[in-house]
Amino acid sequence: MDIKDAKIAVIGLGYVGLPLAVEFAKKFPVVGYDISAPRIKELRQGKDSSLEVEPEELAAVSMAFTEQLDDLRDCNVYIVTVPTPIDEYKSPDLRPLISASRAVGQVIGKGDVVIYESTVYPGATEEDCIPVIENASGLVFNKDFFAGYSPERINPGDKEHRVTTIKKVTSGSTPEIADFVDALYASIIVAGTHKASSIKVAEAAKVIENTQRDVNIALVNELSLIFGKMNIDTEEVLKAAGTKWNFLPFRPGLVGGHCIGVDPYYLTHKAQAIGYHPAMILAGRRINDGMGSHVAGSVVKLMLKRGLKVNGGRVLIMGLTFKENCPDLRNTRVTDIIDELNSYGMQVDVWDPWVSVSEAEHEYGITPIASPQDGTYQAVVLAVAHRQFVELGLESIRKLGTPDSVLFDVKYLFPAAATDGRL
């Protein structure tokens, strides 16, 4: 197949799929598919609740949106961009991916190509997904249909690093398909592409990108725990060490979101399946997964030192999303702080001007407040560095608490001397 003949279906219209579909729609016929009828309805109305694509961008392209699988039958390239979360046991949850593969199998035809963008462990595309397509379609892999893997590289809320300005890794199930997939993406990615030698190499490259970041953040999180016990300000230490040209500028914090807090578990799952125990990666995960509990414990200790009421005391959590200036709630670790504080019998209010109240209620059973009242809280926790909180300023944030309240700054928004505690 020549790329000029490509008719593309993008399956999954979330943070990854929608921006990708919009870019491809500038050059190719594109159908956007999602199982969520409300999502399709809002996109048809020119709205994107994820805030990744502006209304004028949606209006500028001619693209069909559908929740009906039959609408994809005229397509010949199927790009799968569904989530790959972990379950309550920290194991990969491939159900969305398997479901999407089954859907592709119902509409794929001879000569067609399916390309996966979802983060997986090495081997998942060919060992887990392709057999599902074969079974549903009756077609034979690499004879009747072909596959590629080009892992997503998006940063929710980042208006500078976009789909087209981030270099893209590509791969294919045969050399010819690898060339096709690479040319297809190269037609929209201005930053260029990197063609991997195999799908497994591309899968492995993606999963270690975020594993590397996770381990580095775990290191500085552990350093912050050590320095905290020594009454040394971690930020001061990191700034001093950062004067060396090759010191990496990581900062301690909560590690959530769709990638960094999830992807390492895909790699460790596969490593353990082949008989290797990934000690360093899992140690880093344990440290990072424990930071929310550490923050809550630190807040409680500060309150007790001041003689403040803990059981029945009120605390305000500022921010719920997994990162600043975006509405993305996926795998947010702010919930760990909330759960731990609740276990002490505290009344926790959550304030986040970015989140959908209905989504927060559905995903976590949390109902964010519209706005806090001054003088209400025994503790205030700055959990996410939204610009609204920065603009609010230290004095106004202090006023939200009682005169003797505790202010804990997770995100280093203010100088150490201006707060009562931070990582």
- The set of catalytic residues is 259
Torsion of CA 137, 141, 144, 146, to 10 degrees: 110
- Helix ranges, 247-354 (H): 263-273, 279-289, 291-305, 334-343
SS (H, E, C) 180-196: HHHHHHHCCCCCCEEEC
Express the helix, strand and coil content of the chain in percent, nearest 5 each: 45, 15, 40
Closest CA to 151 of 84, 103, 87: 84
CA atoms within 13 A on the CB side of 280: 9
Rg (CA), the chain: 23
In angstroms, the CA 397 to CA 382 distance is 9
* Placement of tokens 């993008």 in the chain: 10
Amino acid at 375: G
Burial (CB < 10 A; 0-12, 13-18, 19+), residue 208, is middle
